[in-house]
Amino acid sequence: MRALVRSLITGWWRQSPWGILLSVLGVALGTGVALSVHLASRSVQDAFLSGLESLAGPPGHVLRAPAGDMDEQVFLGLEHDLEPDVTLLPLIEGEVRTLGSEMADLLLTGVDLSAPADAWGTLQQLTDPESLFGEHAVVWPEARATVTRGPREVALGSRVVRLNVVGSYRSPNRHAYQPRILADLPEAQRLLERVGRIDRIVVQGPVSPRLDRQVRELGLVIEPSGSRQKVLEQMAQAFRFNLGALSLVAALLGAALTLNLLGRNFGARRSLLARLHALGATRRSLSLVLLSEGGLIGLLGGLLGLGFGTGLATVTTETIRRTVSALYGRTGPAWAQIAPADLLLSLAASVALGLLAAAWPAVATFKIPPSMTVLEHVPAPHPPPWPQGWTASGLGLLLLSGVLATSAAHGLTSPELVNVVALGSAVTLALGTLGLIPVLIRGSASLVPHRFGREALVHRLAVRSFSQGWRRHTLSVGALMLATGMIIGMGTMVGSFRGSVADWARQSLAADLFVSSRQGEGTREGGTLSPGLADRVAHIPDIARVEPTYEIRAVWRQRPFTLAGMPLEDRARRGELPLLGGEYPQKPEEVLVTEAMARHHRLHTGDVLDLPAASGSWPARVTGIVRDYASDQGQVFMGVQAFRQLYPGWTRPRSLALVLTPGTDVQTVRRRLIDSLPEVSAGLVVRTPGELRREVLRIFDETFALTWAIEFIGLAVALMGLASSQQAALTEERALLVQLRRLGLSAGGLTQYILVQAGLATSIGLLLGLGLGHALAALLVHVLNPAAFGWHLPFALQPARILGVVSLMPPVALLACIPAIRQLRRDTHPGRAPA
């Protein structure tokens, strides 16, 4: 009997080599997609974290001035009589851009190279230690390629400087991102034209009460190492959530695809297996053969998937990295690398899926009574009952989601808690809506109007089969619903956000031209302009007014924010500072705060801020709150005169806004500026408001590229689900359909059968998806955005997107049905012998 079993099973293999191949490919595709997203997301996560860590500098408490940089004299007071287990690392840094073919933004970091800190890694290629202290000497970061020693030109501020690369350094983690060029502290001070200044001091070791007292007496701020870690963790958490969702979706896709294809392969032989069982083949021998087959297919597919997944990951990593870079800040280069654990896990998962897919029909086969095995096809079990449990759970979850959303919007004050609760609300909302699917499918038979005519029987059969097979169809409808919900939800939120940003950029960029440095563009630590540039620009003909904006990073109540000095009156007159409340300042000691600043610190008009200043704290009264999407950390806007008075050492503007003489051609003045300013070759850019707005929107679009990737994968899952559920239905009902075909049902009738089911699934998925999407969008716009970024957005319906999804889904669903239609037509062709 065992030989017969083997012979019949292997005979089936010979008869259906394409089925086997398809199964192997299905496993490979599933494993590959899941693995590629996992590898890509992990490598980007590593790059992101190493980017954050390397930007944060060495671990430890950080001492910094409440605003801007500090006089290096403070260091003398701190270093004196220091505890033996404490080391202080003074640090100065500035953005540089490498010139030549591989342009990159790096940080020139001045550290005391005579006092090693175990912070940066190990020195490589250094032939003479003394050369570290030479003129313009720098140590270059070594990532993968060996660094060439010798002269190297970089743009520094608005100058081109020739650095002398005397060696390289290698981080302990070879793949960690190192954006820093290291130089000895005095040399970096000279290069950055900031002799006598340092940016911060990193404390390696514990901060004793005495050091703490000294630091406070000197007017410095201590950022505990834990607080920086917390900020990193918060950023990483949001980022991981996104990529985690992406990985999960991909894994689900892989598993669904694999199970479906394998399941179909095994399911098709259920009657053969049942007959063998009836003829005396033991459960053990049948299970053994089936499980061996499933395991083997899983293993082969897994091996193929490893190669496919690694290749796909290599392609996708850079795309995901760019998105993450735009979304969260600087990341390092990322490479997809497969670890032994990934290898084993992927293979184990593939084999497990193979075994599972084989076990399912085996178990089902053993339940079939021997008397039924004489039928050509084994009928499906009795129709399942109504899904009351699902419905009750779905309604309960929807209720819970509403409660969570309400409490996140109104009851909670901690932004972290709001995030968690709002995410909980989103998940329960999706699960709750999912819970309603079975009842809608089951009820579809009574909802759909009866048709009369030639094809009424087919129509009725299709609806009945769909209604009774709700277990089979719930997954595909759920996938469609989730895909629609994600596309609508994210799209509405992103569309609302984009519209707000575009509107704000249009309003706040009303000058004629803007001059800024390209270095560090898009980062909070962006480049600055030389102090004398504004005067030189003012002497260029046809420029009526030059309006500098100065920016200092400062800390207030343990939170970083930006202090900006700008000609408030001029900008207010042009309507560049849209007020959400209050009025524009009239006196030097009055300031505006952005919405994010007001929300983070619960500030209202009339409140007084003790702003950190070079000469101590400075009380500033808040007269108004302005709309701003430039910084989620918050900004305080003050007049230029007050800024110069408070921060006399801060003379480098971040940007210049130019107002031209009325009637002047903007492009002519722009050309004149480019021709007369030598700094242009070192990264200085002169842009029109239109170009700047496009740049803002470009950065915005890059930021949200990841969401489109998630949506794409979601849509792919949905379509795969739809296709697989159609084919599964055909496997179940093949016997019936063959009979109908022999009784004269046309090929068109068969197609109609499938389309009716697909139409029902798509309609329910779309209906629920539209509801879910808008609920998710409301949650994102009204709860998560204010909590995460501190700004509000007007909710804007996106009719074009809704229309796009509604019109896209049916043809795409139809496309997903094509394999099923083809198979059914082939299988039920009157000339074809019964299987």
Partner 1 sequence: MKVLLLLAGSWLLPGLDGTVLEFPRDHGAHPGHKTEWWYWTGRLTDDRNRRYGFQVTFFRRALPLRTREPRSRWDADAVVLGHAALGEVSVQRFRYAERAGRTAMGRAWSAGHRLSVGVGPWQAHQDKDRILLKIPSRDWSLDLELRESRRPMIHGPAAYSRKSDQLDQGSRYYSQPRLSVKGWIETDEGRRPARGEAWLDREWTSTGLGPDGVGWDWFSLTLADGRDVMIYVLRDKQGRFLKISKGSLRHADGRHHSWTPSRDTLHPTRYWTSPHSGIRYPAGWSIVLPGDSVPLIIQPELPDQELRTTRTTGVTYWEGLVSARRGDRPAGWGFVELTGYGKSGSPRL
Q: Which residues bind partner 1 (CB under 8 A)?
A: 72, 75-76, 79-82, 84-85, 111-124, 126, 129-130, 133-135, 139, 169-170, 182, 184-186, 189-190, 195-196
The residue among 176, 232, 225, 179 whose CA lies nearest residue 52 is: 232
Tokens linked to 234: 């918060």
Tokens linked to 585: 């300042």
The residue among 685, 650, 656 whose CA lies nearest residue 567 is: 656
Across 599-629, b (16+ Cβ under 10 Å) vs e yields: bbbebebeeebebbbbeeebebebbbbbbbb
Q: How many residues in total does the chain contain?
A: 835
Given the complex with partner 1, which of 186 and 804 has the nearer CB atom?
186
Decide: residue 821, CB within 10 A, 0-12 exposed, 13-18 middle, 19+ buried.
buried
Q: Closest approach of Cβ 167 to partner 1, in Å?
A: 10
Tokens linked to 808: 């896209």
Q: Closest approach of Cβ 558 to partner 1, in Å?
A: 29
Given the complex with partner 1, which of 125 and 407 has the nearer CB atom?
125
Eight-state DSSP code of residue 133: G
Given the complex with partner 1, which of 115 and 608 has the nearer CB atom?
115
Q: Closest approach of Cβ 134 to partner 1, in Å?
A: 7
Q: Closest approach of Cβ 186 to partner 1, in Å?
A: 3
d(CA 621, CA 489): 40
Given the complex with partner 1, which of 59 and 379 has the nearer CB atom?
59
CB 440 within 8 A of CB 488: no
Given the complex with partner 1, which of 178 and 310 has the nearer CB atom?
178
Q: Closest approach of Cβ 608 to partner 1, in Å?
A: 38
Q: Closest approach of Cβ 185 to partner 1, in Å?
A: 5
d(CA 128, CA 531): 37
Tokens linked to 792: 């509000």
d(CA 773, CA 149): 56
CB 488 within 8 A of CB 809: no
Q: Closest approach of Cβ 651 to partner 1, in Å?
A: 16
d(CA 33, CA 18): 22
d(CA 515, CA 651): 16
Residue with tokens 């970024």: 789
Count other Cβ atoms within 10 Å, centred on residue 123: 18
Given the complex with partner 1, which of 83 and 583 has the nearer CB atom?
83
Given the complex with partner 1, which of 58 and 765 has the nearer CB atom?
58
Q: Closest approach of Cβ 170 to partner 1, in Å?
A: 8
Count other Cβ atoms within 10 Å, centred on residue 796: 16
Given the complex with partner 1, which of 139 and 480 has the nearer CB atom?
139
CA distances from 747 to 674, 712, 741, 827 (A): 71, 33, 8, 11
Given the complex with partner 1, which of 94 and 582 has the nearer CB atom?
94
Given the complex with partner 1, which of 124 and 234 has the nearer CB atom?
124
Given the complex with partner 1, which of 73 and 388 has the nearer CB atom?
73
Q: Closest approach of Cβ 86 to partner 1, in Å?
A: 9
The residue among 416, 485, 501, 426 whose CA lies nearest residue 710 is: 485
The residue among 336, 610, 657, 655 whose CA lies nearest residue 520 is: 655
d(CA 757, CA 820): 12
Angle made by CA atoms 221, 225, 227, in degrees to the nearest 5: 80
d(CA 97, CA 58): 22
Q: Closest approach of Cβ 109 to partner 1, in Å?
A: 11
Q: Closest approach of Cβ 133 to partner 1, in Å?
A: 5
Count other Cβ atoms within 10 Å, centred on residue 315: 11
Q: Closest approach of Cβ 638 to partner 1, in Å?
A: 31
Residue with tokens 């090929």: 747
Given the complex with partner 1, which of 171 and 325 has the nearer CB atom?
171
